[in-house]
Amino acid sequence: MATLVSLKDFTVGNDWEAFTERLEHYFTAIDLTEDTDAMRDKLLLGVTGVYVYVCATNIIPLYLQAGDSRREQFRRYLEKGGVLDALTKVLVALYEEPEKPNNAMDFLKQHLGTAGPETADVETLRLEVTELRQKYEALLEENKELKAKLAQFEVPKEEGQPE
């Protein structure tokens, strides 16, 4: 089937906005929807003109390479910090868990150490701290009483007596 719609090549110096608007109308006329972005990209490169096509095909690989380089640097940073190993271990533990938890994110937080201790553990520790403080106060009081008793039995030192 022949297409009655045509689009002239874009050349440097033409109005880019007007060209892209015409290109959208062209895509609509030939029934090229957003679902076929790859085809739209190919058609765009096909109608941009030789100069723009050559520039784009030279620039795009450089842009993609720069993106890969940043990703590679970030990956090395994560690897150096032990993040990748830690994540891998936790994800493997989750995978091997016979009964999967209801909330995978809580599992990850708990096993990565970002989640605080369980509420029951915190309450137990608080009670223990309270008991230890009371015990400490009682021991201080007992120590004070024993020092007072000891002071009663000590012989007072006379002046001039060597120690």
Residue 55 tokens read as 């520039």
pLDDT digits (tens, 9 = 90+) for 8-47: 665 666 677 777 777 776 667 666 655 566 666 666 656 6
CA distance 146 to 137: 14
CA distance 30 to 3: 7
The three-state secondary structure class of 155 is: coil
**Domain map of the chain by residue range?**
16-80, 83-112, 117-151
pLDDT digits (tens, 9 = 90+) for 66-111: 666 778 888 888 888 888 888 888 888 888 888 888 988 888 888 8
* Banded pLDDT at 153 (limits 50, 70, 90): confident
Residue 160 tokens read as 């001039």
Q: What is residue 61's DSSP assignment?
A: H
- In terms of pTM, does the model score above 0.75? no
